[in-house]
Amino acid sequence: MKLWLTCLLFACMPAWADAPTTPGDAAAWLNRVAQATHQLTYQGVFVYQSQNIMAISHVSHLVDNNGEISRLDALSGPPHAFLRINDSVYCSIHNKPSSDIGHRPHHSFFPEILPYPNTHLNDYYQVRSLGHAKIADHDCEGVLLIPRDAYRYGYALWADSTSHVLLRLIKLDAHGQTASQLTFTQIDIGHAPTRAQLGIDFNDKSPIKHNGNETAPKTVWQITTPPPGFHHVTETVMMLPDHAQPVTHLVYTDGLATVSLFIERQTQPNTFHQQGLVQHGQMLLYTRPMGQYQVTAVGAVPLATLVMMADNLTSIERK
Amino acid sequence: MSHLAYANRPHQTDDAHAHIALISAGFDGELDDQELLMMLERHQSDINASCWQTWQLIGDTLRQSPSTHPSRLAQRVAEQLKHEPTVLAPKPLRAMHKKRMMSLAASVSVVALVSWSALHLALISPHTTQLASSAPASHAIQIAQIDPARLASFVAAHRDFALSANSPDTDTSTQTTAEPTQ
């Protein structure tokens, strides 16, 4: 009997070895993490680290009968805070009498970064378990998201094994090395300030509204063949600093990787009519002329992704 | 071995090793005549012709001296084999099965470990390869010159929707200076 048990143990070794690398249902796990991170109440301190940049923030996330409310306070650098109430995002700058308001349905604070309610990340990333680790004194389960193609980079996610709230996100670069990470150093799951406490700094400020979509764009922009998994998120027309003309801002994402396309009309010939690549930290910018417009694609993604998007951009003039 | 040593040697009739060592010492000439006689009297029943031959052969071999008694090794081995019973019955099933299964288990474990490692490499390597080849167009694309202020505004606007949008290094000045779209 002992012999057979020994043989069984040996025979089961592949299953043991394989278990940490093949979660039973990766899609279900990712959805569970996304749901918990959006629907549970918590507050904590997290650290953002990227190359030589490190900063600390405090985030509070409250879910009650009125919906979601999140607040992000910068604990390092210039004092400022973000407040998101459902789809509206406010930014409060210390010593400024006004607060910036933006209607950004896809703007979320860490750790609310996974698509919700449904994520299809496992269609574009292989999911491999990283086992368990302790983060902010919580036992966490980690997964590695390995891109299935060359249009995105990888990620490592760690979520609390009990509540499934996301506690760490590591973004990998082209070499599979850590490019940046967001990780909680302390978190209290189940507790957060009241709604009134979260908005206390914003009540006495007059909002400045921008990024609105009140005027329908005269031109409809679309990417005929986006990279697999990338879908259109939003389109806004805005004024950016140091830009003479309104800029159309298209946002595409696969759920984690995000690409922006900025389209601006040239007011004068050869003002910025050029084609090429610029690297800004982890960001890549690919710009090219398109008729009377200049298109600039921005994102921390492979260059092939930016080129494919910018080169496949088409426009339809509305009558 | 001196007489004193022999006399003081613990008489371990139950100790086979001491028993044999004493007899061996006698054949090696380490005992004087009196000691040898005492040993022969005490252990006569233990000594037979076969033992004499064996010990003498060992002694001659160690001393590298011609044996006064031909060992007839080949002959004796042949005779020993002739007297060995021919084992036709299989070994006990349990033992043989155990050996086979342990070998099989060991093989399975080795294959498992190799497969597991290969699986890991196979999963990681394509990723690395893909990433390494993810910028095929870079050789054909030139470096562009974008005004730093314009570049910063693009990056700041993009961060509003990217993962780093809520990171503390977000350029908040962009958001405060933005004007309503006309």
The pLDDT, as a whole number, for residue A245 is 82
Answer yes or no: are the C-beta atoms of A51 and A163 closer than 8 Å: no
Answer yes or no: are the C-beta atoms of A118 and A11 closer than 8 Å: no
Contact status of B180 with chain A (Cβ, < 8 Å): yes
Which of the following CATH numbers is that of domain A22-206: 3.40.50.720, 2.50.20.10, 1.20.1070.10, 3.40.50.80? 2.50.20.10
For chain A, which residues make up each domain, given as ranges?
22-206, 212-317
The pLDDT, as a whole number, for residue A244 is 79
The pLDDT, as a whole number, for residue A61 is 94
B109: left (phi over 0), alpha (psi -120 to 50) or beta: alpha
- For residue B45, give its domain range: 3-83
Distance from CA of A300 to the nearest CA of B (A): 9
Nearest to A242 among B130, B150, B168 (CB): B150
- Whether A122 shows a pLDDT value over 80: the answer reads yes
The CATH fold of domain A212-317 = Phosphorylase Kinase; domain 1 (3.30.200)
Q: What is the pLDDT of residues A93-106, one digit of tens each?
A: 776 666 665 555 55
Answer yes or no: are the C-beta atoms of B26 and B37 closer than 8 Å: no
Nearest to A299 among B102, B158, B167 (CB): B158
Residue B182 lies in a domain: no
- Whether A151 shows a pLDDT value over 90: the answer reads yes
Residue B101: which residues within 8 A CB-CB, separation 6 or more? A3, A4, A6, A7
Distance from CA of A113 to the nearest CA of B (A): 7
User: In what helix (H) or strand (E) does residue A233 lie, and over which residues does it extend?
Assistant: strand A231-238
Q: Residues in chain B with pLDDT < 70? A: 1-20, 22-24, 26-29, 39-140, 163-182
Contact status of B115 with chain A (Cβ, < 8 Å): yes
Residue B160 lies in a domain: no
- The packing angle between helices B49-63 and B16-27, to 10°, is 60
Residue B65 lies in a domain: yes
- Whether A272 shows a pLDDT value over 80: the answer reads no
CB contact under 8 A, A298 and B130: no
The pLDDT, as a whole number, for residue A235 is 86
Which of the two residues, B34 and A124, has the higher pLDDT score?
A124
Residue B21 lies in a domain: yes
Residue B54 lies in a domain: yes
Residue B72 lies in a domain: yes
Residue B51 lies in a domain: yes
Distance from CA of B164 to the nearest CA of A (A): 9
- Whether A164 shows a pLDDT value over 80: the answer reads yes
Rounded mean pLDDT of A49-65? 88
The interface predicted TM-score of the complex, written ipTM, equals 0.79
Quick one: DSSP state of residue A32? H
Cα of first residue to Cα of last residue in chain A, in angstroms, is 82
Residues in B closer than 8 angstroms to A206, CB to CB, are none
Give the CA angle between residues A112, A177, A251 to the nearest 5°. 40
The pLDDT, as a whole number, for residue A157 is 94
By mean pLDDT, which of A21-35, A44-58, A117-131 is the weakest?
A: A21-35
Omega of the bond leading into A117 within 30 degrees of 0 (cis): yes
Strand partners, A265: A293
Domains in chain B: how many in total? 1
- Whether A201 shows a pLDDT value over 90: the answer reads no
Q: How many CA atoms lie within 13 A of A74 on its CB side?
A: 21
Answer yes or no: are the C-beta atoms of A308 and A225 closer than 8 Å: yes
- Whether A161 shows a pLDDT value over 80: the answer reads yes
Residue B168 lies in a domain: no
Which of the two residues, A298 and B48, has the higher pLDDT score?
A298
Nearest chain B residue (CA) to A149:
B130
Distance from CA of B89 to the nearest CA of A (A): 23
